[in-house]
Chain A
Amino acid sequence: MRKVLPASILVVMLGLYVALSGAVWKQQERARLEVPAGYVIPSKFSRVLALGQQGLLSDFLFLKTITFVGGRIGSGMPLSEDDWRFVEHSLDVVTDLDPYFKDPYVLTEGLLAWDAGLIAEANQLLAKGMAYRTDDWQLPFFIGFNQFYFLKDFTAATESLMVAARLPGSPSYLKTLAARIGYYGDKSKTALLFLQELVAEADDPLMRARLQKRLQVLEGSVVMEEALDRFVEDQGRNPEKLVELIETGYLEKFPVEPYGGTWIFNKEGRVFSTSRFVDGFVPQEKD
């Protein structure tokens, strides 16, 4: 009896503990999603607080950042503006702690530029990386892409691409791409060439999936733009609506728009979508 009682209490407590522990972890999981992104200690302090382990701290902070983004995206929660600011600050601190670290720059391009739309901030971070990783062609390539695709600054983009093309290990088509921007400028085909390169370079499954979705929608745009070009060349006028392309046989069917928007076009022959290629687009009633 003397042994049975403590033993049974132990068993009960163990069961209770396991249940409680599970509940606590679930609770934390929910809490982490609900809490705002929080505060990143500025690098002025964290460089000191790292106690000489700046490299390790940068690895940890980087992991924390991708876990945060992955958690939000995985649970289907869109990131708020504050969340993106948090990601931007984190990446800034990570690259202050170790400015040679490649991963945060890749994430900067994949997330800050593409998803958050913080183009200027992304380019600033990438420029910081260029000052240290002087042999890395991808950083000017990313900057050039942002200038081309988001900022529509074709002169600057061409220059950045030429910088990238001169660095060791850069693919040979960069020069062609730079020339193409100068000639065609704002066409989906150019963006597609860029994006194919980005997808080929993306190893992280999270980013890869997002980039591939973009790739799919751009491929759709290219098909549409090419059909539109042929139509304009033959008919000497723009169609009234994109459906006309199908009716006149220039296009078999509309390509899939993975973001759920409707294809539209402008007078310059650019085809894009009402979703503006952003996740979580809700199609609106036509007025």
Chain B
Amino acid sequence: MRSVVALAIITFKEGIRNRALFGIGLMALFLLGLNVSVAGFFMRDIGKVTVDMNLSALNFAGLLLVFFVAINLMAKDIDRKTIHLVLSKPISRSQYVWGKYGGILLFLSVSLAFLFLFSCLTIALLLALYPDYFGAFSWGQFVVAATFVLVKLAVLTAIVLFFSTITTSSLVTLIFSLGSYIAGVTIEEVVFYLKSDWATQERVVSESLRTVIDVLSYLLPNFTVFDFSLEAAHGLPIAFERIVLALGYAGGYSAILLLLAGFIFARREFN
């Protein structure tokens, strides 16, 4: 356990030192600043637009962090063969996977917490500027939605780690994870569309395609589960079960991927 924590801390430090962090942070701050100037273009729902833009900025910055920084923390280790240095220490392969995951998670949490702080500042500023146009806005729902951006990134990181244990190049990991992300955010719309009356009546989908989609809906993560932006934007109530279920789903999916990654990684040959 101690070695896992030690590796996590090293990974975290390595992530924080990455120069890309400044670029991503600056971009996110720019997006948040843009929010202040754009909000005035709208007539009524300035609160909704503000929440949308803030959550999207957090989401976008988080994705960049995962795809450009987190991937390097694991895949580059294998790519550049620096992993041999780590594995020569008394640490098992699966401990390495869990340690890396912990480190990346810590890194993501700290970076996002920093951006979240700025995001709250922009909202507070806009709230002061346009107090009448924030309708049903509530901080609680915003915090829930922002937290679930992190939960989503945690699942995505597990996917990244899983793919980096089976591929030999960080570029392939990037492509696979990006593909999984895109599939994950769109799959719900596709599945529900195929299940809709319209699609059934028009017989646009064959039975076999439906089976494929059914299987895929179990294989791929459904990232829409973690999307509470509509609720946060309009102050709609969020059912407690939904939060619990989403957290359980995220935990289950990530744990399976990390366990699989550990198995595969333990059997992997490095040259």
Contact = CB atoms under 8 A, between A and B. Distances in A.
A203 B44 contact: yes
A51 B229 CA distance: 13
A44 B193 CA distance: 8
Interface in A67-88: none
Interface string B152-191: 0000000000000000000000000000001001100110
B52 A59 contact: yes
B240 interface: no
B100 interface: no
Interface residues of B, number: 29
Nearest to B55: A55
Contact of B230 (A44, A47, A55, A207): A55
B30 interface: no
- Give the dominant DSSP class at A's interface: helix
Contact of B48 (A48, A66, A100): A100
A55 B52 contact: yes
B227 A98 contact: no
Contact of B185 (A52, A58, A101): A52
Nearest to B45: A102
Interface in A82-110: 98, 100-103, 106-107
B49 interface: yes
A134 B197 CA distance: 26
A59 B53 contact: yes
Contacts of B41: 63, 66
- Count chain B CB atoms within 10 A of each CB in A52, A98, A102, A106 and give the residue with the most: A52
B59 interface: yes
- Count chain A CB atoms within 10 A of each CB in B43, B227, B236 and give the residue with the most: B43
A196 interface: no
Contact of B189 (A48, A58, A62, A66): A48
B182 A100 contact: no
Contacts, number: 65
B246 to A, nearest CB: 14
A204 interface: yes
Contact of B45 (A48, A103, A207): A103
A204 B43 contact: yes
A62 B48 CA distance: 13
A44 B199 CA distance: 12
B29 to A, nearest CB: 17
A59 B223 CA distance: 21
A63 B189 CA distance: 24
A56 B45 contact: no
B28 to A, nearest CB: 14
Contact of A98 (B38, B55, B230): B230
B245 to A, nearest CB: 18
A103 B55 CA distance: 20
B4 interface: no
A29 B61 CA distance: 33
Contacts of B193: 44
A208 B49 CA distance: 21
B189 A103 contact: no
Contacts of A48: 186, 189-190
Nearest to A100: B234
Contacts of B138: none
A52 B49 contact: no
B200 interface: no
B234 to A, nearest CB: 4
B45 A55 contact: no
A209 B43 CA distance: 14
Contacts of B45: 101-103
A51 B185 contact: yes
Contacts of A102: 44-45, 48, 135
Given A52-B223, A54-B230, A102-B48, 4 more contacts: A44-B193, A98-B233, A103-B45, A204-B43
22 contacts: A48-B186, A51-B185, A52-B59, A52-B185, A52-B186, A55-B55, A55-B56, A55-B230, A56-B56, A59-B52, A63-B38, A100-B48, A100-B236, A102-B48, A102-B135, A103-B42, A103-B43, A106-B44, A107-B43, A202-B43, A203-B44, A204-B43
> A-B pairs with the 5 shortest C-beta distances?
A52-B185, A55-B52, A100-B234, A102-B44, A56-B56
Interface of A: 44, 47-48, 51-56, 58-59, 62-63, 66, 98, 100-103, 106-107, 202-204, 207
Interface of B: 38, 41-45, 48-49, 51-53, 55-56, 59, 135, 182, 185-186, 189-190, 193, 223-224, 227, 229-230, 233-234, 236
